[in-house]
Amino acid sequence: MKNILDAADYPNLYALGLYNIEEEIAKCLFSDERLSSSMFKNQITTLIITIDPDKQERSTIANICNYIFTVFTNLTHLTFYDAAYMNNIRLLFNIPSSSFSSSSLLVLNIKVQTFDMCLYLLDGRFEQLRTLYIELANILSPSEIENQRKIPNLKSFVLSCMARTFYYNELILPLIYRMSNLEELGLYFTAFVNETFIDGNSLKKDILNHMLQLKQFAFDIRSIMSIKNQMNLPSKEDIQ
């Protein structure tokens, strides 16, 4: 890849896809003085990076994250995820460093492990972000990460999670309420509930009535209710 990019000038190149990239290759590519000072810094606005799931480690992900916005300073669209088949692995993150931030990024498509990472990504580090597509491996118990500051610039938000969660009311709804100007919303997950299912009435009361700018709402929300006091009702045959 480095030899190809070094072989000529590409004045019309604005998008770059790096698939199954390893840390050493990324370091070699991103540290190239010619590429990083011209093409990467001035031309590339759309970047796709996928990580080999068999080789991803926290340090690898962290190092690549540190490169992205220091090298590609004009990014407006970023897609960043692992390359696992069936999408059953997510990027392993610690708390992202302050260098994983941008004042130009408009669209982010990312797969991460936990809901905490979603909160970190929306803590103000991407102040111009308009669209966020995020896939989570799980939504666990509430943390101490701030989940109240408004996110007025976000227009489109899609959240999906493969694992079941107990924290629809405690985590997901408060996050959505921060997005006062949201126009497009997508929710795809399974939630445990106590007394009522998440149906059309609850979605209207808990989401639609709060999102006055919303124009499109797509969802696949499944509710699981545990009935502890089951009654053994007589069968039809018993009644007869």
Average pLDDT, the chain: 85
Percentage above 90 pLDDT, the chain: 47
Paired with 165 in beta bridges are 191
pLDDT at 12 (0 to 100): 87
The tens digit of pLDDT for each residue in 73-108 reads 999 999 998 766 554 556 766 667 788 899 999 999
Which domains are present in the chain? 2-239 (3.80.10)
d(CA 101, CA 96): 9
Residues contacting residue 45 through CB under 8 Å, at least 6 positions apart: 14, 15, 74, 75, 76, 77
Q: What is the DSSP string of 111-158?
A: EES-HHHHHHHTSSSSTT--EEEEEES---S--SS---S--TT--EEE
pLDDT at 82 (0 to 100): 78
Helix (H, G, I), strand (E, B) or coil at 165: strand
The values of phi and psi at residue 137, to 5°, are: -80, -35
pLDDT at 55 (0 to 100): 62
Contact between 106 and 77 under an 8 Å Cβ cutoff? The reply is yes
pTM: 0.86
The distance of Cα 194 from the centroid of its chain, to the nearest Å, equals 27
Parts of the chain with a pLDDT under 50: 87
